Amino acid sequence: MEFLILILSALIISSIGYYKYIYFISLGYGFSVVGLGAAMLIMFRNDLKIDTIVMCVLFIVYGFRLGGYLCIVYIMFGGARRLEIRQNRNYGNDPEYQEYVKKTPILIPLIPLYSVEKYKFLVG
């Protein structure tokens, strides 16, 4: 029965993917790990040993790290996409702007990613 409760809690948390399909395999996974760690701490609170507590806490920390990082990345790249679309609309015909765009990476220095406008899944 406990296993079924753990599976159902992970499925409920992963249902964030119904908001946006890519969240099933990214945010849903990360926050499901958090939910599993917390559910195990609650469900087995009478039988926990120190190593089990450490494992559950590490599950929670790992899930928050993964889900939190992905939230930040989605927000950063979504904002960069919106900004790029607006800047292209305002300065698209300016040759100086075109030269700048061709040689300046977006968000991450030294990684040759110069445009995110075409990636429609990045909606910040």
Q: What is the pLDDT along the chain (124 residues), one digit of tens a residue?
A: 889 999 999 889 888 878 877 777 778 888 999 999 999 999 999 999 999 999 999 999 999 998 888 888 878 888 888 888 899 999 988 999 999 988 888 877 788 888 888 877 777 5
pLDDT for position 111 = 81
pLDDT for position 18 = 81
Q: How far is CA 24 from CA 13, 38, 70, in A?
A: 9, 20, 12
Residue 65's nearest CA partner among 23, 26, 16, 30 is 30
pLDDT for position 117 = 82
Residue keyed to tokens 């609650």:
42
3-class secondary-structure state, position 82 = helix
pLDDT for position 59 = 93
